[in-house]
Chains A and B, each alone.
Chain A
Amino acid sequence: MNAPFKSQQGPSRRDVVVASALVGGSLLVGCSPADLMSAGSKVEPGVFGPFIKIAPDGVVTVISKHLEMGQGNHAGLSAIVAEELDADWTKVRVEQAPANAKLYANGGMGVQLTGGSSAISNSWDQLRKAGAGARAMFVQAAANRWNVAVGEITVKDSVLTHTSGKTATFGELLADAAKVPAPTDVKLKDPKTFTLIGTDRVRRKDAQAKVDGTARYTQDVRLPDMLTAVVAHPPRFGAKVKSFDAAEAKKVAGVVDVFEIPTGVAVVAQSTFAARMGREALKVEWDEDKAEKRGSAAITQLFKDVAAGKNTETKWEAFDTRGDAAALNTAKDAFEATYEFPYLAHATMEPMNCVAAVDGSKVKLTFGSQGQTLDQLNAAKIVGCLPGSVEIETLFAGGSFGRRATFQSDYTAECVHIAKKVGKGRPVKLVWTREDDMQAGYFRPIVIHAVKIQLDKDGYPAAWRHRIVSQSIMKGSPMGGKGPDQTAIEGTAGSPYLKATPIVDAQVALPDVGVPVLWWRSVGATHTAFVMEHTIDQLAAKAGKDPIEYRRALYTKAGADRHLAALNLAVEKAGPQAAAGWTRGVAVHESFGSVVAQVAEVKLENGAPRVGRVVTAIDCGVAISPDQIAAQMEGGTCYGLSGVLFGEVTLTDGKVDQSNFDTYRVLRINEAPSVETNIVPSGNPPSGVGEPGTPVIGPAVANALFALNKTPTTRLPFVRSEN
């Protein structure tokens, strides 16, 4: 999830377009999503505002507008409030906000959505003010009760203390504080005086529930009278149901109904197992007239032809043009490379699922919703109601990595269609099996990069031609915006290496393919970081320079101080040399406002790369939870490494070849590196953490292998099944 939303603050004209595009119907045109969401909304903010509830026993509940899908944002968000409130951290709880864009929109997007590594950054000011405001109300209440000046009162761990020694707790002052008018202007702390933020006390609030089995995920929802549904999907993208025979399926004990929905044939049953058995007995004929029948090899070849200029129908969009690159056409000693990236599946541990109940024009969704506003709009469109009458109870999500935020709310919409047909408010849980999940598309697209670079007499880039061919994620979506799709170019666009190059000719082409594609943790950086960072090592080698020194020179030229600082910290902490038998590779990349540098130690085992120690440095602005930042660097590195080592979805004649973890290999504990995290000191506002750790390990490994055997990596994954 990413940049396309970032330019706006709060609901804007684009939201109106979003709303009308998604909802349709002239009645609704002119409403912003916030207006639409608030229609019928039952959310009544408490006396301390929409983000803070305080109970008589002094327990502070922070209401999180963001989904917790593993990234640890509930720890960071509640710590921001606790810091400014001076609350006792051990008595702080977190609760998931209801769906209401007016109160809980992502400040960078105008809709309620968790993505783009923005949960902390977009909440920083908002939650600091919320915490400081509540604190001021308690201080005023104490001053009134004790008849003293507010300046004579201090707050620590939910206890207010007067200079005379009098004390009172939040709980004791609660009724009085609730009567104090909320302040319109609050003074925030000087970050130098933080006592919680930046300490290792900021730990997860959900760890206990996640180790004793009580954490509630969509898969665990049990409601009275609930039915379970599975759906028979077509074998190729874009196919439709031609006909189906449900006779045998309906004979399976526990199967309640079988019917067609827009995405296939739904089997509704009393239990998950019965629904699955019913689907096995179901016979469906598919209309494949409009289906995508090309295989991944053909799509890859098409993209390569486009990148090589062999396809004259291609529409190219320039995204960085400086100087005259014509000399590159005849340059004799230029560096040239083409890089190839496959489709990737997100493969979250919890496959996609949703619980919906539809009663007339009322909809209740209970699931790990990542884009509540989009889910409300899409559900409303199906049921024919105002989005505000779509209630969402957001649960923990068993991973997402981008998958749960789609413009179409794909599996959510599927569940709403089924619940609508079942009707009468009866809850239906849609369960996707691992096979459903892996074959449903929404992959990281196939991407081809082609570069041609001329070095100057000192060995630094003088002219840089860059061609990216990918499938657009944003195209056709209501949030597409103008200009080239940023999700395809980010990371090449804005690269310090391009900034340091006098002549640049960078363009992107985005051919249409009938395979649904989506952001995959770190989005464009999944490929741009690899291309930029691996190319730099090859250029350094061509110039006869050390790759670290080469980067330092380019960062200095580009004024990329944060890149330089992160690189220097990682290199310093890594120490002078790799352990015996290991070879080092370095990579640095900025994404979601944060810069990550890694020094990875790699060796070849049976021809495949093995990654041992990975020394990481991150500049993510103010570090709220150093431990969770480390957790995201560890996890992000594993996720990225899994993708570059093994990740590849292939299609044969339009059918996805992989179906489960036996055919879509992912990283296991015996292949996992040991990641050390170092945080660059910063007073800047917090920036992303969930995604920036993912894209750097790939090029770091490729660079280590290049150092080891002088062979560049031009095609991922490193370990291919046919090898």
Chain B
Amino acid sequence: MAVTLDINGKPTSIQAAPDTPLLWVLRDELSMTGTKFGCGMAQCGACTVHLDGQPIRSCVTPIEAVGTAKITTIEGLGGQHPVQQAWVRHDVPQCGYCQSGQIMSACALLAQKPKPTDEDIDNAMSGNICRCGAYQRIRAAIRDAADTGPPLGEPHADIDEAIVAGSGATHRGAGR
């Protein structure tokens, strides 16, 4: 069946069975591979995209259910979105596989609650699993993006607390 979807502001025509999950249309039909497959049953959040600004799990969303809703994927953020910049400042990703979904959930949270509490963050982000356990940096990056926490400096710029190896104990992590 021919379907036209609104993806990142562009009308996009695809041929797919109506019950095909949006995830596989994005990845296999459109080569938009930033959105990841993790579990296939809305348990891990790696496939999170926005439908009209709301975070949804694309692995369980058949394209017939999308209709004319505006789809935003990680590619639609452009790479320099304030949340993406905060993620880089904090070196949040480890393996990185879950991060597209984490960032999409975080963007949706901040759009709704520009100054989220820790509880807001936990509630909004607990559907996104990170097996590398980058959780405290996710929290820090969200607070940073919301401008409620101390910034860590510009992306990959020199940071003042540089400590030469062997000169003393380093300490980091407090407040993250």
Contacts and interface: CB of A to CB of B under 8 A. Distances in A.
B57 to A, nearest CB: 12
A210 interface: yes
B95 to A, nearest CB: 3
B74 A213 contact: yes
Contacts of B126: 668-670
Contact of A681 (B36, B103, B167): B167
A201 B28 contact: no
Interface in A644-684: 660-662, 666-670, 672-683
- Residue with the greatest number of chain B CB neighbours at <10 A, chosen from A199, A200, A678: A200
B135 to A, nearest CB: 4
B129 A668 contact: yes
A676 B130 CA distance: 19
B134 A635 contact: yes
Given A90-B156, A195-B164, A661-B43, 20 more contacts: A198-B167, A206-B96, A210-B96, A211-B92, A213-B35, A214-B79, A222-B31, A349-B98, A349-B132, A350-B38, A399-B131, A626-B170, A634-B133, A634-B134, A634-B136, A660-B40, A669-B125, A670-B125, A672-B133, A683-B166
17 contacts: A70-B93, A70-B95, A72-B94, A207-B91, A271-B24, A272-B27, A396-B95, A397-B95, A399-B95, A626-B163, A626-B170, A631-B134, A634-B134, A668-B128, A669-B138, A672-B135, A679-B170
Contacts of A272: 24, 27-28, 37
A237 to B, nearest CB: 23
A219 B129 contact: no
Interface residues of A, number: 91
B95 A677 contact: no
A167 interface: no
Interface in B133-175: 133-139, 155-156, 158-159, 161-174
A207 B165 contact: no
Interface residues of B, number: 78
Given A217-B97, A666-B129, A208 B79 contact: yes
A156 to B, nearest CB: 14
Contact of A273 (B28, B91, B103, B162): B28
Interface of A: 69-72, 90, 191-192, 194-195, 197-201, 203-204, 206-217, 219-220, 222, 228, 253, 271-273, 347-351, 396-401, 431, 433-435, 569, 573, 616, 622-624, 626-628, 630-631, 633-639, 641-642, 660-662, 666-670, 672-683
A289 B36 CA distance: 39
A694 to B, nearest CB: 9
Nearest to A623: B165
Contacts of B34: 212-214
B158 to A, nearest CB: 5
Interface string B88-106: 1001111111111001000
A213 B28 contact: no
B176 interface: yes
- Residue with the greatest number of chain A CB neighbours at <10 A, chosen from B29, B74, B92, B97: B97
Nearest to A634: B136
A662 B172 contact: no
B37 A219 contact: yes
A637 B31 CA distance: 35
Nearest to A350: B97
A194 to B, nearest CB: 6
